[in-house]
Amino acid sequence: MSKRDYYKVLDVARTATEAEIKKAYRRLAMKFHPDRNPNDAEAEEKFKECKEAYEVLTDAQKRAIYDQHGHEGLAARGGGGYSASDAFSDIFGDVFGDIFGGGRRGGRQQVFRGADLRYDLELDLEQAVFGHSADIEFTTLTECEPCSGSGAAPGSKPVTCDTCNGAGQVRMQQGFFAVQQTCPRCKGRGQIISQPCDSCLGQGRLRQKKTLNIKVPQGVDNGDRIRLTGEGEAGRNGGPAGDLYVEIRVKEHAIFERDGSHLSCEVPVSFSTATLGGTVEVPTLGGNVELKVPGETQSGRVFRLREKGVKPVRGGATGDLFCRVVVETPVNLTEEQKELLRAFDASMHESKRNHSPRESTWLDGVKRFFDTIRS
């Protein structure tokens, strides 16, 4: 037995947890493994030291004796021999088990959780804002009723696979490495079905259509998901069913655009109303409301109607409705109306007042632009 400090051998603190010790051993064992260092006596010796240290420090009783009495205490207790190949396969066995979906199961049958499913549910904006109840139909794997999911014909039972002893995995060892793979005989089920069920042909599950009623909460938005636990595919070998995720898709609306909890829309306003002021009816999801438009309102001005938006599904304040004014140019004028506008335009030009501040500012900018070019 080596007399070196086991903590220094593994390069860990004396307060290191078992997980930290295991991680350090994996790193060093891979580094000094004889297969990676052929004909290197020093590497082989270090590999054995790492194994010694790992065996002691991951055994609670041995570690306590070592911490109190050192190597002498372990020698007095009796250490026992070891096999380097056993050590290597033990420390990495759980890793390979995770990779290949298995592990040591002590002869127990493997169970598999059913797959999760996704369903895209398309809603109108009003349905998303106020909530909705919808019936959805989808195809999924359900448990076979005649055999209760066992895959065996009524009156018969599956028997434990004698190749893997019900584990669904077989252990393949070559030199220092041990790898687990799916049992070739039972295909990972852990059982053999000699008399398959006529309905599911031994699979234990059938593909069938399923209808569910979905309660959509108020305020959902594009990309929100509703999780229905246990409504996905049925599990295998008694495993739990997967979940169904209903993903929300909200259709475009003819009037409103949504941004989180806020809504926006365009409000067409006549030339005279924008000039003189007045009121216009504005649609909201809760009904029409009157919007006061002050005189001399310019096209593009935005008015805010508080709490006329959406109540968020996850809580919080109700959003607002933003109304963008669009001044509408009159069309289909009569000759009399055109003449009145010409007279109105003439009076505007004769007046000494600045009736079009934006136009004047724009013209001044154009003049400065050309003056700059000429200079």
Whether the predicted pLDDT of 176 surpasses 70: no
Assign 63 a pLDDT band (cuts: 50, 70, 90).
confident
Q: Residue ranges of the domains in the chain?
A: 6-82, 117-250, 257-331, 336-374
Q: Mean pLDDT over residues 66-89, rounded?
A: 60
CB atoms within 10 A of CB 280: 19
Rounded CA-CA distance 273/295 in Å is 7
Count, residues in the chain? 375
Assign 306 a pLDDT band (cuts: 50, 70, 90).
very high
Rounded CA-CA distance 47/308 in Å is 72
Q: Given this model, what pLDDT does residue 47 score?
A: 87
Tell me the CATH class for 117-250.
Answer: mainly beta
Q: Mean pLDDT over residues 323-330, rounded?
A: 93
Q: Given this model, what pLDDT does residue 88 score?
A: 45
Q: Mean pLDDT over residues 157-182, rounded?
A: 78
Secondary element (H or E) of residue 23: helix 18-32
- 257-331 folds as HSP40/DNAj peptide-binding domain (2.60.260)
Rounded CA-CA distance 285/267 in Å is 15
Q: How far is CA 273 from CA 35, 269, 294, 322, 351, in A?
A: 90, 6, 8, 19, 22
Q: pLDDT tens digits, residue range 105-119?
A: 444 456 778 899 999
Q: pLDDT tens digits, residue range 230-264?
A: 999 998 877 889 999 999 999 999 999 999 999 99
Dmax (CA) of the chain? 120
Using left for φ > 0, alpha for ψ between -120 and 50, and beta otherwise, residue 255 falls in alpha
Whether the predicted pLDDT of 167 surpasses 90: no
CB atoms within 10 A of CB 234: 22
Cβ-count burial 8-24 (b if 16+ within 10 Å, e if not): ebbebeeebeeeebbeb
**Which pTM value belongs to this model?**
0.59
Question: Which residue is associated with the tokens 């029409």?
Answer: 288
Q: Given this model, what pLDDT does residue 106 score?
A: 42
Q: pLDDT tens digits, residue range 257-287?
A: 999 999 999 999 998 999 999 999 999 998 9
3-state secondary structure 51-113: HHHHHHHCCHHHHHHHHHHHHHHHHHHCCCCCCHHHHHHHHHHHHHHHHCCCCCCCCCCCCEC
Rounded CA-CA distance 227/136 in Å is 14
Q: Mean pLDDT over residues 23-33, rounded?
A: 86
Q: Give binding residues as ranges.
A: 144, 147, 161, 164, 183, 186, 197, 200
- 6-82 folds as Helix Hairpins (1.10.287)
257-331 and 6-82 share a CATH fold: no
Whether the predicted pLDDT of 82 surpasses 50: no
Q: What single-letter amino acid sits at 266?
A: E
Q: Given this model, what pLDDT does residue 357 score?
A: 64
Instruction: Tell me the torsion sign for CA atoms 185, 189, 193, 198.
Output: negative
Rounded CA-CA distance 280/326 in Å is 12
Whether the predicted pLDDT of 103 surpasses 50: no
Say which residues have a Cβ less than 8 Å from residue 15's Cβ, sequence separation at least 6.
none
Tell me the three state secondary structure of residue 191: strand
Rounded CA-CA distance 81/75 in Å is 12
Q: Given this model, what pLDDT does residue 269 score?
A: 93
Q: Give binding residues for Zn(2+) as ranges.
A: 144, 147, 161, 164, 183, 186, 197, 200
24-33, 78-87, 190-199, 313-322: the lowest-pLDDT one: 78-87
Q: Mean pLDDT over residues 25-39, rounded?
A: 84
